[in-house]
Chain A
Amino acid sequence: MSISIRDPASTAPAKPSQATEARVSRIRFGGTIWRASQSLMFPLLIVLVWSAASAQGWVSPKILPSPATIAGTFWDLLAGGDIGTNLGISLVRVAKGFVIGGSLGLALGIAMGFSRTAEIWIGPLFRTISQIPSLVWIPLLMQLFGIDEMLKLVIMVKACLIPIAITSSEGIRSIPRHYLEVAQVLGLSRRARIVKIVLPGALPSIFSGLRQGLSYVWVSLVIVEMMVSAEGIGYLMSWGRLLFQLDVVIVCMILVGVIGFSLDFGLQRLEARCLRWRGAGAP
């Protein structure tokens, strides 16, 4: 009986775990130069077709500005300080929202994780609210808080408080019981139990909550800035749309993507650093 192996690439790895690792590393970083060049071919092709389309006048440059125009606009906005000013304002807002929302979320999450009483009293309300995304509340919050800084802060705080509180309380509650029993046998004090066992054990969940929270903060800020703001990267984008300068819009979109990615990447690095002790032996 002949066994035909159709696609050698899909059957080559010996163990599924290797395949998974290879996949993850490829998604994230590309691997070898050959693979990188394969990945670059497609975007290069797109940029070429796109440039040709604008050069030959297949589409109006007003509808689809050429890549060169976009690069030029990016340079102009950067040199003129528009990007610096607006991005700076947005990032300061993000920092405020994330610090306030994050610390409130952590405090609540720790309270709900440690104390069954807190969980019983505030848990249900919390999980109910968490089902409805922040975006939905924006018009109501506009009525309540006006359209100034306060509105942005409230929305950002709400956006990150909930995922952070939920993941950190779950992280704390899901610490294996036998760890705590060992601590009891060793006669650790309550404080030592928390610092040595509970917090390190819950750290991965806390980090995943923080990362989710930060990305929510960024997205919700961009949304609010697009709706009501006179400054910030979201404002710059809707301003570009208003004047029908799509090159400005596209520059801002790219910036939104790059900043979103960098914020998450920063937290990911921090997480890797904080969790280095887990090492290779950890599950």
Chain B
Amino acid sequence: MTARTVWSERWRGAVLPVFVLLLWSAATCDGWVSTDVLVTPWRMLAPLGDASIRSDLIAGISASAVRFSEGALLGITLGLGLGVALGLSRPTDRAIGPSFHAVRQIAIFAWVPLLTAWFGNGDLGKVVFIALGAFYPVVMGTYEGIRGVPLHLREIGQLYCFGPWRLLRRIVLPAAVPAIVAALQLAIIFSWLATIGAEYLMGGASRGIGTFVMGGREQLRTDIVLLGVTVIAASGFLLNTLLRAGSRRLLRWRDATS
């Protein structure tokens, strides 16, 4: 395929979004819909002119980022622990595995009311909820990764008389790394989603980008809602892109050897 056709295909892919934007602008400029319902795309930049809204937005973004990191870190640490335990020890897997899979059927968002009752709707409740979001994929990925280590690799370790610790460090963990990296990637995306969900659903006094959006909604400021949602969507794109680049880098050794 020549560069020219690639370019023209890209151009066609852009037609629909541009058309939607035009329709949207027309609908709002010509007053087909009320500005309470929808504002012109560029109007979402207007709240940035207001210093207090701007500082709210910036404080919200940083508060959400801190909460996201705390929750993700907590969930990933606990998840790695349980995942390794379930993956390495069959008795543990038999005892806890089925209960874990049963509880996992409850969508994480259904935990929100109970968690707010236990931990309040402030930072603590949100961080616990975010950790829960990160926890499940890490447990699953680590477990599958360790269980999926090919038998012949373990046998090599036994042949060299590796003790349990060396077997784990030299053979089991390196072989499980690709699955664990994929799980971490998923866990980070889930924590991001849980951060936004926690702020939408729990409300509370603590700041956050999601709280910023819900605040705008309560004041019927569609421009603030649109601005906030756009920022959230952009952060999601950014995170996806970073994760993809990061996991490619981390797993480069695998392509080099195989």
Contact = CB atoms under 8 A, between A and B. Distances in A.
Contact of A11 (B13, B118, B151): B151
B131 to A, nearest CB: 18
Chain B interface: which size bin? 35 or more
Interface stretch (A82-90, A148-156, A238-246): A238-246
B228 A139 contact: yes
Contacts of A186: none
Contact of A241 (B9, B117, B159, B161): B117
Contacts of A137: 229
Given A3-B161, A42-B99, A246 B114 contact: yes
A43 B94 CA distance: 12
Given A120-B13, A237-B113, A249-B117, A227 B161 contact: no
B13 A123 contact: yes
A143 B222 contact: yes
A272 interface: no
Contact of A124 (B14, B147, B197, B229): B14
B95 A4 contact: no
A1 interface: yes
Contacts of A11: 151, 154-155, 158
Given A42-B96, A136-B233, A256-B110, A10 B159 contact: no
Contacts of B164: 6
Nearest to A63: B118
Interface string A245-260: 0100110111011101
A219 interface: yes
Interface string A213-227: 000001100110011
B22 to A, nearest CB: 14
B94 A223 contact: no
Given A120-B9, A143-B217, A131 B236 contact: yes
A204 interface: no
B101 interface: yes
A43 B100 CA distance: 10
Contacts of A125: 13, 16-17, 20
Contacts of A20: 148
Contact of A253 (B111, B216, B225): B111
Contacts of B117: 63, 241, 244, 246, 249
B112 A41 contact: no
B232 to A, nearest CB: 5
A58 interface: no
Nearest to A122: B16
A19 interface: yes
B9 to A, nearest CB: 5
Interface in B105-150: 105-107, 109-114, 116-118, 147-148, 150
Nearest to A41: B95
A267 to B, nearest CB: 15
Given A16-B151, A132-B236, A218 B107 contact: yes
Interface string A10-44: 11010010011001001100100001001101110
Contacts of A140: 225-226, 229
Contact of A219 (B38, B90, B107, B201): B107
Nearest to A44: B99
Interface in A79-105: none
Contact of A3 (B106, B158, B197): B158
Contacts of B4: none
Contacts of A261: 105
A135 B154 contact: no
A257 B38 contact: no
Contacts of B147: 19, 23
24 contacts: A4-B161, A6-B158, A7-B90, A11-B151, A16-B151, A30-B98, A38-B94, A63-B117, A131-B236, A137-B229, A143-B36, A144-B38, A222-B109, A223-B197, A223-B201, A226-B201, A237-B110, A237-B113, A241-B117, A249-B114, A254-B106, A257-B103, A257-B107, A260-B106
Interface of B: 9-10, 12-17, 20, 36-38, 90-91, 94-99, 101-103, 105-107, 109-114, 116-118, 147-148, 150-151, 154-155, 158-159, 161, 164, 167, 193, 196-197, 200-201, 213-214, 216-217, 222, 225-226, 228-229, 232-233, 236-237, 240
Given A11-B151, A125-B20, A238-B113, 6 more contacts: A4-B161, A121-B13, A132-B236, A136-B233, A253-B106, A256-B107
Nearest 6 pairs of A and B residues by beta carbon: A124-B13, A241-B113, A257-B106, A257-B105, A39-B98, A256-B110
Interface of A: 1, 3-7, 9-11, 13, 16, 19-20, 23, 26-27, 30, 35, 38-39, 41-43, 46, 63, 120-125, 128, 131-133, 135-140, 142-144, 218-219, 222-223, 226-227, 237-238, 240-241, 244, 246, 249-250, 252-254, 256-258, 260-261
